[in-house]
Structure 1
Amino acid sequence: MASPIPLAKKQQINLLRGWPSPHLLPADLLSAACQRVLADPVESVPILQYAPDEGYQPLRERLAQWLGRHYGVEPDANRICITGGASQNLACVLQSFTDPHYTRAVWMVAPCYHLAATIFEDSGFAGRLRAVPEDDEGIDIEELERRIKALESKERIESQAEPKPFKNPGPFRKLYRHVIYAVPTCSNPSGKTMSVRRRESLVKLARKYDALVISDDVYDFLQWPLDGAVDPQRPPEMRLPRLCDIDMSLGRAENDSQGFGHTVSNGSFSKIAGPGVRTGWAEGTPAFVLGLSKTGSSMSGGAPSQLCAAMLADLLRTGELESFIETKTRPELQRRHKIMMDAVKEHLEPLGAVGRESSVSGESIYGGYFVWLTLTQGPPGVLVSDAAVKEENIIIGRGDMFAVRGDEQGAKFDQNIRLCFSWEPEEALVDGVRRLGLLIKRMQGNLAHYEKMAAEVKDSDRPVSSWV
């Protein structure tokens, strides 16, 4: 079956790439901030030198104030460590607080941010990534506990000896028995936001089983009301408590004599100031943050991103970054999301595609970068993904990309696709969804042809971008 228009004449549309639109990069603000922080030699010398292990102190303090206002918690710079972004910090957390022999498993909320899998595997957890499915409120707590119990029971039967760690954490760190990885707000890829009661239950479960919850809180500032209305009694975005705030509010757990806590918030400026700034923050208990700062790479070179940290501290001081998010970033993402969803309703819903109406169950709120669709009338996502490239020059995220590597049967997503609305121009969002609808209609009319074509395609031929 030939494509109606030659592929070479079709504009490529990348609905997989999870990058901010060039319009959402505050280059002028960053340029001005850089000039300001370097103008005074007294201030610029320490900025251009090695950083303190915990990070640039003015940024720690201004982040504490900003996050404190946003989440309604007491500001405490001692709870914050400056990082090189969420991905780099995930690796540092694993280096400092896990052991490939002692830590039993990494539990990933599925569908998951799949590129995290390689970071876990690099830390010695290949073959020990475990899927935990979601329901409408987020992570399925009962299923997570059932699977943890089953794993621990199986290991007790197979070996009576308690595993001995390879690492010596020393006085400033500890090793956790389990790791739980989640994106609780506007999750990538599902778009779901975990309810408050699920957040509370997850923290309590982590404390019970000596688990560390690593929470990627990268979309918290990117939420909006779907109807466009602003309730004067509530900010325009949901401000649910972070897992680290819930953990702190419960006080020290009985099995936590050193006060490390059982959660860490992994924040990043990538979605709100640009991925290239390579700067983020971790927030946890003061003991956890001090231990994280003892990661070898930080002690050798100091906290990463010292210059960019100073620039961002300056933008927090002036209020320009907050203003940019509120007046530029969030409104543009809100508009782009509506444009894509209107196109989905017109071109894909009649073909059986179903998407989430909101991020938060029972609330008219959405956020983040992505739309997660279920194809209820076939064909499966992998066939749609392959055919979209071959016939329409469109790149999308197929559902099985977001299964947990090594535990694909723990939660399957064969009938799902993910679309990103943050990268392509607005007109391309509409055209991409329209062309995708034409493709799916063709596929529904001749599914056998596409199944035969897929059998001839090797996995290596399928486009999987590293930037999602």
Structure 2
Amino acid sequence: MSTTTTAPATGTAGLPLADRTSGLVGSVIDSSTSLLAKQTHDIVRFAMGSPAADAIPTAALAEVARTALGVDRADAFDYAATEGDLPLREALVDMLADTTDATALDRVTITSGGMQGLDLACKLFVDPGDVVAVESPTYTNGSATALSYQADLLEIPVDEHGMDVEDLRGQAERTGKTPTVIYTVPTFQNPSGASLSLDRRHRLLALAREWGAVVIDDDPYGMLRFAGDPVPSLHELAAGDPLVFSVRTFSKIIAPGLRVGWVDTDPSLQPLLISAKQAMDTCTNLPAQRLVEGFLRGGYLAEHLARTRTAYRERKEAMQEALTEHFGGMARWTDPDGGFFLWITFDSPENNTEIDAAIDTEALFEVALAHGVAYIPGNAFSPSRRFPDALRVCFATTPPARIHEGVARLRRAVDELAGAAV
């Protein structure tokens, strides 16, 4: 499975493509959906970072739809205000009132999913040649968005405490390149599952203020904590600082197909956000906005989150049990307190008590797919391809028994690949 897809500088028939097309990088994660749809054999799907099918509240959404999108609600199928339908924005502010993301109406702009929020942030703050600091590994669609605006990326290591903020400072000093933007997934990070510690959150904000750099605070998973103590969001710690641009989405907590998210920004930015968004999609899908508003106002969210948090904790623990059974002594993995993902790193041959060969997870992918299990190779999460021995698995989508089967299939694939390498 190739982990980079770059558009050519010139099109077929000599089309005069814009210079920016050389920075358009396809998403391995999104491409996996099409790839898996083409398979005809049974596959345990650890690849896509999506809520479990049984975690999507279809019954509640159908009930809401009967009222919000009923036959007498033609207004629900009209254009909406670009900044978002007012009833949804009001419901969202009310929903967030007692959370670490508490906000005000004039700070909220509804977007077509979290990805549009990232695109808007880069459109507003990234010029060609600007340095954007990203976590390494990082969410591939986030770094790809920055590259599409012709940014230069500075990859900052991630450990169990999140982005290494001191390394960020050190790299900026060594290279003489001060970031214009710092992109972070601070809570249950994609792909590692790590969370930025409270101390590092404070230091990151201090560094951003010192440099005048914008922090893109991309937090799709914060509401999915199932263990550990809550940590204040960057949004809360920033206390309204305009340098923090917070991106949120309902894709992970309700359903991805709704394509409804929001950004929380300094109110002075909203006119620019409206102008930028009007050049994209005019407005976010109004029927979907009405569905989300009805879901929030109907009081469904709290019970839904409680149920999914319990299920995701069980699935994470099942994944770790299966990994211990099949990969103890040959790999290490993360232990997140929420979210969707585990990051697995294979030990080097000299430290591996199970097999003698190094594991290249891109080479492993095709073998694993043939065995009936899919994941995302580690190099997909680094523009400079720093993680050939790692992979990301999503535990959220799969029931425990199926998780055990998928990990067993992965071990058989590893054994086959290692045997072929001897």
Range class of TM-score, shorter chain: 0.7 to 0.9
Give the aligned partner of residue 11 of structure 2. Answer: none
- CA distance in 1 between counterparts of 2:117 and 2:293 reads 19
Aligned sequence identity (%):
27
Residue 292 (1) aligns with residue 265 (2) = no
Aligned to 1:370: 341
The higher relative CO (CA closer than 8 Å, separation ≥ 6) is in 1
SS across alignment from 1:109: strand
Find the counterpart in structure 2 of residue 223 from structure 1.
225
Asked if 1:136 corresponds to 2:127, the answer is no
Q: How does 1:97-108 map to 2 (within 5 A)?
A: 97-100=125-128, 104-108=130-134
| Aligned counterparts of 2:280 and 2:407: Cα–Cα separation in 1 | 48
Check 1:338–1:34 CA distance in 2 against 1; reply closer, same or farther (3 A cut).
same
Mapped to 1, the partners of 2:80 and 2:317 lie a distance apart of 43
SS at 1:271 equivalent? coil
Compare CA radii of gyration and give the structure with the larger one. Answer: 1
Q: Which runs of 5+ in 1 are unaligned?
A: 1-7, 156-176, 226-236, 253-260, 360-365, 450-468
1:438 aligns with 2:412: yes
Deviation at 1:27, TM superposition (A): 1.6
Shift of 1:239: 3.2
Deviation per residue, 1:401-443 (Å, 9 max, x gap): 211x2x34xxx22221211112234332111111222333455
1:193 maps to which residue? 195
Q: Is the 8 A contact 2:101 2:235 kept in 1?
A: no
User: Equivalent residue for 1:384?
Assistant: 364
Say whether the 8 Å CA contact 1:53–1:299 is kept in structure 2: no
Do structure 1's residue 424 and structure 2's residue 395 form an aligned pair?
no
Any idea what the Cα deviations from partners look like across 1:250-303, whole Å, max 9, x if unmatched?
Answer: xx5xxxxxxxx11111110111111110100111222234432331x3378543
The answer to whether the Cα contact below 8 Å between 2:209 and 2:243 also exists between their aligned partners in 1 is yes
Greater mean alpha carbon deviation, residues 269-278 or residues 369-378: 369-378
CA contact (8 A) 1:218 1:267 kept: yes
Per-residue CA distance 1:320-352 (angstroms, 9 max, x = gap)? 1222111x22111111111111111111114x2
Deviations 1:110-131 (A, max 9, x none): 1011122332232233xx1221
* 8 Å CA contact retained: 2:191, 2:392: yes
SS in structure 1 of the partner of residue 99 of structure 2: helix
Confirm or deny: 8 A CA contact 2:68 2:294 kept in the other structure. Answer: yes
Aligned 8 A contact 1:113 1:402 in 2: yes
CA distance in 2 between counterparts of 1:216 and 1:338 reads 25
Residue 77 in structure 1 maps to residue 105 in structure 2: yes
1:145 — aligned with what? 169
- Corresponding residue number in structure 2 for 1:18: 49
2:182 paired residue number: 180
Q: Deviation digits for residues 88-125 of structure 1, max 9, x if unmatched? A: 22112222333225xx2121111011122332232233
One-letter amino acid of the counterpart of residue 54, structure 2: H
Rate the CA distance shift 1:53–1:299 in 2: closer, same or farther, 3 A. Answer: farther
Q: In the alignment, what sits opposite 1:321?
A: 301
Alignment of 1:396-435 (within 5 A): 396-403=375-382, 405=383, 407-408=384-385, 412-435=386-409
Superposed, 1:238-257 pairs within 5 Å as 238-248=229-239
Aligned to 1:119: 145
Amino acid at match of 1:88: Q
Instruction: Describe the superposition over 1:44-71 as per-residue Cα deviations: whole angstroms up to 9, x where unpaired.
Output: 4553322222211122122122222121
Q: Which whole-Å CA distance do the structure 2 matches of 1:148 and 1:56 have between them? A: 41
Could you tell me how far apart the structure 1 residues matched to 2:281 and 2:135 are?
33
TM, length-normalised to structure 2? 0.82
Equivalent residues, number: 375
Deviations 1:118-163 (A, max 9, x none): 32232233xx12211112211111111222234446x9xxxxxxxx
Specify every segment of 5 or more residues in structure 2 that has no aligned partner in the other structure, as ranges: 1-38, 353-357
- Whole-Å separation in 2 of the counterparts to 1:300 and 1:139: 32
Q: 1:343 to 1:301 in 2, by over 3 A?
A: closer
TM-score normalized by structure 1? Answer: 0.74
Distance between the aligned counterparts of 1:334 and 1:28, measured in 2?
A: 23
Aligned to 2:96, what secondary structure does the other structure show?
helix
Q: Distance in 1 between matches of 2:280 and 2:359?
A: 52
Letter in 2 for 1:132: I
2:36 maps to what in 1? none
The 1:38/1:387 distance shift into structure 2, 3 A limit, reads closer
Contact 1:379 1:447 (8 Å CA) reproduced: no
Partner letter of residue 371 of structure 1?
Answer: L
Distance 1:15 1:55, change over 3 A: same
- SS of the aligned residue for 2:149 comes to helix
Conserved? CA contact 1:79–1:286, under 8 Å: yes
Task: State the secondary structure of the residue aligned to 1:221.
Answer: helix
Q: Does 1:310 align with 2:290?
A: yes
Equivalent residue letter for 1:274: A
Please tell me the residue identity of whatever aligns with 1:246: L
Q: Quick one: which amino acid aligns to residue 47 of structure 2?
A: L
* In 1, Cα distance between equivalents of 2:272 and 2:266: 10
Say if 2:225 and 2:339, in contact at 8 Å, map to a contact too: yes
Could you say what the CA RMSD is over the residues aligned between the two structures, in angstroms?
Answer: 2.5
Q: Does 2:263 align with 1:282?
A: yes
C-alpha distance in 2, partners of 1:382/1:300? 35
User: Do the aligned partners of 1:55 and 1:302 also contact (CA within 8 Å) in 2?
Assistant: no
Instruction: Describe the SS at the equivalent of 1:206.
Output: helix
In 1: Cα distance, 2:402 partner to 2:281 partner: 43
Question: Taking structure 1 as reference, are residues 302 and 188 closer, same or farther at Cα in structure 2, changes over 3 Å only?
Answer: same
The Cα shift of 1:238 comes to 4.2
Contact 1:80 1:283 in 2 (8 A): yes
